[in-house]
Amino acid sequence: MAGSLAHKEWKKVFNQEHLEELFSLKLKNSTSTGIDWVTTEKLEQNLSQEIGIILRKCASSSYHFTRYREMLISKGAGKIPRCISIPTVRDKLTLSAVNEVLTAVYGANATTPMPQVIIREITDALKSSEYDAFIKTDIETFYASINHELLIKQVHKKIRKEQICDLITKSIKTATVKPNASIKTEGRTSGIPEGLSISNILANVYLQPIDEKYRSLEGCRYWRYVDDILILAPANQANNIRHMIEKDMSKRHLSLSKDKTIVGKLETGFEYLGYYLLPEKTSVRQSSIINFERTIESIFRSFSSAKKPNPEYLQWKINLKITGFILDNHKYGWVFFYSQINDLSCLAHLDWLIKTLCDRFQVKDIQFKTFMKTYHEITKALHSTDYVPNLDTMTIEEKRNIVQNIYGENVKDENDSFVEMRFRLLMKKEIRDIQKDVQPFS
């Protein structure tokens, strides 16, 4: 059944018309480039020919991925940076197609749920008298430790089509190298590269046996977000469950972090995915609030020290920190991420902080939005509010004004396509800043 589904999805996805549509929907506005530095604009000039090459080589199992470009993301002082693998645009299109096949075959079971959905489920479970203890743990170097043989074996249970398995195998074995690398680098023998469109779903497929076992384990509740695991259980079973999951992870060549493995009572509270949770209280982890405060203060400080301070830029940046925004129908922002809290005192504190920073840096005549109103708009009236910017509904002239007057780029005489590209590039940077505001969880 699953094998025939994979074959059916392959035919649906790997054809000229669908790949052209996929490029237009998923990749056309992408600004990242692989080690060959070929942009989406350049590839689009020969899109039909490039897709022809993809289809021909994939059908004959002769497709090979170009080495991925390494991009390091800092995780803070004293921590090893996260290594992201950036494929070429052609490889990105091929991987997007593979991802569609995998998503159709595995469905929701191999999709990483949103943190807010997990937190909502946890807060509901905390109200139950069934559990009085928690086990919280973290998989050490999760992606880098995934065993290729076990992963492919797991994939083969549902996907028998040779061409799909060939692409998956080659994609995870392709090396990630520094830009302008000239020395031939050996491919991977273990682990899967982070940053590929198929990375998350393959990681979830790899852990399906464990996820299924513990989700159905009687007397406990289990959640996993990438490498962060939380289990609620009766106190008299908690340590046994901890030892059991350690053994199960070991069978899949994975280790749990000793430093981050905690067994405790629910009444003492615990942190998970940036939240602080008690049976009757859901709040934001204190360190997350402190980090966010520093981010806001740094924006005020930069404004105050600028030779030519731009009040419009300050207002725009701070309001984005407060409300977040919607782009490509996705929600981004600090309050969006922490929308499951019922402890609103932290939001009142942040509103107080904005007023305090205005006084300290002598910022006058600028009206900022508030965290409290943002929370109520997001949780009560998101689909009707205009308090949170929806960038998808902005006109090109509004975008031109933002690029020109807020970010200080001269686009007055540029065409609409160029303005759209610059606007999206600037907003992608804002998204990266927002992601820093809510990371890391561990």
Q: By percentage, how much of the chain surpasses pLDDT 90? A: 84
CA distance linking residue 156 with residue 173, whole number of Å: 17
Q: How far apart are the first and last CA of the chain?
A: 39
For residue 257, what pLDDT band results from cuts at 50, 70 and 90? very high
Per-residue pLDDT, averaged over 134-142, amounts to 96
DSSP label at residue 262: E
Residue 254 CA from chain centroid, whole number: 22
pLDDT in tens, 204-244: 999 999 999 999 999 999 999 999 999 999 999 999 999 99
pLDDT of res. 256: 97
8 A C-beta contact, residue 306 and residue 363: no
pLDDT in tens, 302-328: 999 999 999 999 999 999 999 999 998
pLDDT of res. 3: 61
Residue 250 clears pLDDT 70, i.e. is over it: yes
Per-residue pLDDT, averaged over 332-347, amounts to 96
CA distance linking residue 415 with residue 422, whole number of Å: 11
Per-residue pLDDT, averaged over 25-33, amounts to 86
CA distance linking residue 256 with residue 63, whole number of Å: 36
Per-residue pLDDT, averaged over 348-353, amounts to 98
For residue 32, what pLDDT band results from cuts at 50, 70 and 90? confident
Per-residue pLDDT, averaged over 274-279, amounts to 96
Residue with token string 């997001």: 378
CA distance linking residue 142 with residue 330, whole number of Å: 26
Q: Nearest 5°: phi and psi at 114?
A: -65, 140
pLDDT of res. 439: 67
pLDDT of res. 390: 95
Q: How many CA atoms lie within 13 A of 435 on its CB side?
A: 10
8 A C-beta contact, residue 404 and residue 316: no
Numbers of helices and strands, H then E, in the chain: 19, 12
Per-residue pLDDT, averaged over 406-410, amounts to 94
Per-residue pLDDT, averaged over 335-355, amounts to 97
Report the predicted TM-score, pTM, of the whole model to 2 decimal places: 0.89
Per-residue pLDDT, averaged over 68-76, amounts to 84
Q: By percentage, how much of the chain surpasses pLDDT 70? A: 97
Residue 279 clears pLDDT 60, i.e. is over it: yes
pLDDT in tens, 145-163: 999 999 999 999 999 999 9
pLDDT in tens, 90-116: 999 999 999 999 999 999 888 899 999
Per-residue pLDDT, averaged over 49-78, amounts to 91
pLDDT of res. 30: 83
CA distance linking residue 390 with residue 217, whole number of Å: 42
Per-residue pLDDT, averaged over 54-67, amounts to 97
pLDDT of res. 140: 95
DSSP label at residue 129: T
8 A C-beta contact, residue 87 and residue 95: yes
Per-residue pLDDT, averaged over 30-58, amounts to 94
For residue 37, what pLDDT band results from cuts at 50, 70 and 90? very high
Least confident of 86-95, 118-127, 230-239, 380-389: 380-389
Residue 78 CA from chain centroid, whole number: 23
DSSP label at residue 180: T
Q: Does a cis peptide bond (omega within 30 degrees of 0) precede residue 440?
A: yes
CA distance linking residue 421 with residue 419, whole number of Å: 5
Residue 413 clears pLDDT 60, i.e. is over it: yes
Q: Nearest 5°: phi and psi at 179?
A: -55, 145
8 A C-beta contact, residue 156 and residue 165: yes
The secondary element (H helix, E strand) that includes residue 379 is helix 371-380
Q: How many CA atoms lie within 13 A of 377 on its CB side?
A: 17
Burial (Cβ within 10 Å: 0-12, 13-18, ≥19) of residue 152: middle
Dihedral of alpha carbons 54, 200, 172, 4, sign: negative
As a whole number, the mean pLDDT across the chain is: 93
pLDDT of res. 183: 62
Kindly list the distances between the CA atom of residue 111 and the CA atoms of 64, 84, 160, 252, in Å, as whole numbers in the listed order: 26, 20, 21, 20
In this structure, what token pair is assigned to residue 323?
A: 């409300």
In this structure, what token pair is assigned to residue 168?
A: 């998956």
Name all contacts of 312-321 with Cβ < 8 Å and 24+ positions apart: 312/405, 312/406, 313/406, 313/407, 313/408, 314/363, 314/366, 315/366, 315/367, 315/368, 316/402, 316/406, 318/354, 318/368, 319/368, 319/369, 320/389, 320/430, 320/434, 321/292, 321/295, 321/296, 321/437
Residue with token string 């589904």: 5
pLDDT of res. 76: 67
Number of residues written out for the chain: 442
CA distance linking residue 123 with residue 280, whole number of Å: 8
